[in-house]
Homo-oligomer: A and B are copies of this chain.
């Protein structure tokens, strides 16, 4: 079993705000992240796929395919967007790093399975919000 990883980057606006709470409680819990006028980040994303190496190609999965899937399924839907307002799969959810990686997983896992005919599978998604904070999800 070999693990291959591909990085992607996107720039987006968001805020952390629970609509069921008062403005005061949001600011208490989320601090500056609750700013009603939004803030934003350069998000760094790493997608890790595992599988056996195909002796014909030396690949677990062609990086070109992995790159295309990440671009079409995630990057183009979140880059230069507002994660709370513009992204279908985040509607009604808190736009935290944790929720983002779980939603990304739900989209990428079946797609990677399909494109590789089940020979490779999604292993981990890592999402870095700043140089200091990140979340990782292994699908369970």
The residues of A with any CB-CB pair to B shorter than 8 Å are 1-9, 11-14, 16, 18, 20, 29-33, 35, 37-42, 48, 53, 56-60, 62-64, 79-82, 85-86, 93-99, 101-102, 130-138, 140
Complex CA distance for A137 and B58, rounded to whole angstroms: 14
Report which of B20, B42, B86, B134 forms a contact with A37, defined as CB distance below 8 A.
B86
Complex CA distance for A7 and B9, rounded to whole angstroms: 15
Q: How close is A46's CB to chain B, nearest CB, in angstroms?
A: 9
Q: How close is A112's CB to chain B, nearest CB, in angstroms?
A: 16
Complex CA distance for A42 and B13, rounded to whole angstroms: 10
Chain B residues near A32: list those with CB within 8 A.
79-80
CB-based contact A39/B82 at 8 Å? yes
Q: How close is A26's CB to chain B, nearest CB, in angstroms?
A: 10
Assuming A3-B137, A133-B4, A136-B5, is B12 touching A98 (CB within 8 A)? no
Closest chain B residue to A63 by CB distance? B133
